[in-house]
Structure 1
Amino acid sequence: MPALPAGWEVGQPDPADRFDLARLTQLLRAHERDGRGWAGASVDDVLVEVSEAGLRTRENVVVRDDAGVIRAWGSVHDRAGGRMLLLHVVERGLADGVARACSDLLVEWAVGQARAVGAARGLEVQQIDTGTYSGDERQTAWLAASGFTKVRTWWQMSRPVTPDERDLVPSADDWEGRGVRFRLVRRAGDGMPDEGDLREVHDVLEEAFRDHFNSWEETFEEFLHRLREDPGHRWDHWWLAELVDDGDRPDGMGAEPVGALVGTVSESASGPDGSYVSYIGVREAARGRGVAKGLLRTIIADAAGRGRDRVGLEVDADSSTGADGLYTSMGWTTSYVTESWHRDVTVAD
C-alpha cells in the first residue's frame, strides 16, 4: 500500500475557514470537470457536506500536504438504514503513488465509518455506495482494487425548454386531465407546506420505488431532512397527482394520491437556471394513465414560466421499466453517464 509523503496529515475540514471551503469547492469542481467536461458545484454544495446542519448525518476527512493544503477529501452520508453514501475526491495531477495513497486512506476511513454507522443502526452488513463518471479510469481502478463492484449505470439526461412551453398544461400550479389532478403541495398562511401533503409525497415515492434497484426504506423525517439540504430545494417544486374520477377514497380523505414529483433548481453562473427532477414516482395501480407524463409536462411548463432553459433528470440505464423510452419521446437526451459502485462491509469485523 503506497504511503503518504512525509509531513502530510489526515484531519477534518473546518467549515468556518473560508480557505478550506474554497479549496474543497475547487477540488470538487475539478473532479466534475475532469469526469464530465464541466463543473457545476458551488460553495453551497460543499456546505451540505461539511456544515453544522450537514453533520447531522455526515462525517468528513481530508488529507493535507506539508503546507496544510487539502489534496483529498472524503465525506460519508448515512442516507438510510443499510445504505451509506461516499464522496471520494482526490486532486487531479497528483503523482500516481501519492494519489493512490490518498484514495486508499479515504476508503479505509470510509470502511471504519460504515462499521460505526452499521453498529449504531444494529446492522450486520453496511453498504457503501459511491460513484464515478463513466470513463474515469483512475477512479474505477482504485475502487475495484479496494473491493468495490460496479453495479449500475445511470444516464444523466437533459431536455431544452422554450418559452412557449409554459402553455404545455393549463396551469403548472393545478390542472386536470384524463381523470387525474396535478397540483402543487398545499401551502399554509406562513408559506410552509402542508405536512399531510408532504407525507403523501413520501408515501407515494416509497411505494413507487419499493422494487427498484438499491431502494432502501427511508423514514419521513430522513426523507424531508435530506431533500431540504439540497441548495436547489424549493417548496413550490413539489407536485402531487391525484385520481379524481373514481370518487372519494374509502377513508374519507378525498382524492387518492397516485403520483409525485419533487423538483429542484439547477442554478447557473453563466446563463439561465434550469429545473431538475429529483424524484418522480407513480403507484403501480395508476400506471398507464399518463400520470408520469402529466407530471413531466407540468415541470416543463413550470420551468418555461420561470424563464428557465432546461429540465434535467437521472434514469437507470439498466432498468427494465422502460422509463428511458418515455423521457426520450418527450425530448430528453443523455448529457453524460455515471456509474454506481458498491462494497458491503461486515459491521462486526
Structure 2
Amino acid sequence: MSWPEGIEARPIDKADAEAWAELLAAREKVDQEGENYGADDLIEELDDPHLDAAHDTIGLWADGRMVAYGKVQATVTVVDVDRVRTEGTVHPEWRRRGLGTTLMRWLIRRAGEVHTAKHPDAAGEVTSGTISTNAGADRLLRNFGFEETRYFFDMKRPLDQPVPEVALADGFRLEAFDPSIDEALRLTHNEVFRDHWGSTPRDAESWKVWNTGARSFRGGSSYVVLDGETIAAYVLGYEWDADTEVTGIRELYIGQVGTRRAYRGRGLARAALAKVLAEAVQAGYQRSGLGVDADNPTGALGLYESLGYSVHGKWVTYRLPL
C-alpha cells in the first residue's frame, strides 16, 4: 500500500498495546461508542489462536504514536457465507486526510486474501460495523460499496430498579458456572446459536480466549439452568475494568444468553437472567448491559425489555461481497 508521507505501517504486536489503547481512548471521546479498552484487553485479543497478527493487523504510526489501526478476523468454519470481519479507526486528529480511505483499501484487500486462502469454495463478503451515529464511518463504507445488512441494539438496565422475581419451571435447577461444565457449555452454545445470523461454532481454543477464559469473564455472575446434567439454558456475565475506570460505573455485561431448542418457551432464560441480575445487585454492580440482534429469531429483544432493559444505541453491520 502507498501510505501518506510520514506514516509508518507495520503489524501490531503486544509491545504496541499501550499505544493501541491510547488510540482507542481518543476515538471513544469523539465517537462515543461506549467501548473502552485497557492494554491487557488488547494483548488478550492478540492471543487469539486464529488471528495471524503478523498479516491481519496493521498499525499506522506518526511522530511516535499510533494514529490508526486495522484488523481482519477470519472465520474458522463457514455456515452459509464466509464473513471476514474487519475493524479499524483513525485518530480524530488525523481524520479527513485520506488515511481512512487508504486503510479501508488495505482491509478489503487483506480480507479477500484471507477468504481465498481459507474458504475459496464458499461465497465471501467483507463485513464491518459501526455505531449508527458515526456519519463519517457510514459515508466511508458506502463510498466503497458497502451496504447495510444487519442491526444490533445496545441495551442498558440500571440496577437501582427492582429485579423481578422469576420462578424456575419445575424439574429444573439453577447453578453458578463451574469450570467442570465448560466444554458442555461450549457445545451447548454452538447448538443454541446455530440458527443465528453471522454465528459460527466456537472451537475449544477460541471459546477460552473470547468466553470463559477471558479476563473479563465473571463465573460467579454466570448461571446455567440444568435438567438433570443437561444444560438447558445459560447466561454468561462479563466486566471490563477499563470501562469502570472511564465511566465510574460498574457494569455487568451479559455476553451470551441461550436456551436449547428443545427447552424453549418455558421461561428458562428469563429465570436465569433474573437470577444473574439479582446477584449483580448484591455484588455491587450499578448497571447491566447487553447487545441483541434486532432480528433475533428467539424473541430476545422482548425478553430483555420485560426485565427492564431499554435500547441505549444502535449498531449497524455493513457488507461488501467478495
TM-score, reference length from structure 2: 0.85
Letter in 2 for 1:337: K
1:274, CA displacement in angstroms?
Answer: 1.7
Unaligned runs of 5+ in 1: 170-174, 187-192, 244-253
Aligned residues: 312
Q: Distance in 1 between matches of 2:275 and 2:106?
A: 42
Q: Does 1:334 align with 2:303?
A: no
Q: Does 1:205 align with 2:199?
A: no
1:128-155, Cα deviation, whole Å (9 max, x unpaired) = 3321010211111212222432211111
**Correspondence for 2:250:** 273
Contact 1:132–1:338 (CA<8 Å) still a contact in 2? yes
Q: Distance in 2 between matches of 1:122 and 1:224?
A: 28
1:343, CA displacement in angstroms?
Answer: 3.0
1:63, CA displacement in angstroms?
Answer: 1.6
**Correspondence for 1:57:** 51
Larger Rg: 1
Q: Distance in 2 between matches of 1:117 and 1:213?
A: 19
- SS state at 2:98 partner: helix
1:290, CA displacement in angstroms?
Answer: 1.0
Correspondence for 1:184 among 176, 201, 205: 176
Correspondence for 2:215 among 231, 236, 243: 231
Contact 1:133–1:337 (CA<8 Å) still a contact in 2? yes
**Correspondence for 1:251:** none
Aligned positions of 1:306-317 closer than 5 A? 306-317=283-294
Q: Does 1:258 align with 2:258?
A: no
1:260, CA displacement in angstroms?
Answer: 1.7
Q: Distance in 2 between matches of 1:230 and 1:30?
A: 24
Q: Distance in 1 between matches of 2:200 and 2:319?
A: 14
Contact 1:182–1:240 (CA<8 Å) still a contact in 2? yes
1:297, CA displacement in angstroms?
Answer: 0.6
1:103-146, Cα deviation, whole Å (9 max, x unpaired) = 334424xx325523652456544443321010211111212222
Once superposed, what is the RMSD of the aligned Cα atoms?
Answer: 2.8
1:79, CA displacement in angstroms?
Answer: 4.4
**Correspondence for 1:36:** 32
Q: Distance in 2 between matches of 1:101 and 1:122?
A: 26
1:286-323, Cα deviation, whole Å (9 max, x unpaired) = 11211110111121012112111111111112335322
**Correspondence for 1:129:** 127
Letter in 2 for 1:75: K
CA, structure 1 residues 219+38, in 2 after alignment: closer, same or farther (shift >3 Å)? closer
**Correspondence for 1:76:** 72
Contact 2:126–2:320 (CA<8 Å) still a contact in 1? yes
- SS state at 2:152 partner: strand
Contact 2:168–2:268 (CA<8 Å) still a contact in 1? no
Q: Distance in 1 between matches of 2:172 and 2:125?
A: 39
CA, structure 1 residues 15+330, in 2 after alignment: closer, same or farther (shift >3 Å)? same
Q: Which moved more, 1:276-285 or 1:6-15?
A: 6-15
Unaligned runs of 5+ in 2: none
Correspondence for 2:200 among 202, 216, 231: 216
Q: Distance in 1 between matches of 2:272 and 2:315?
A: 25
TM-score, reference length from structure 1: 0.79
Letter in 2 for 1:9: E
- SS state at 2:74 partner: strand
CA, structure 1 residues 127+237, in 2 after alignment: closer, same or farther (shift >3 Å)? farther
Aligned-pair identity (%) = 24
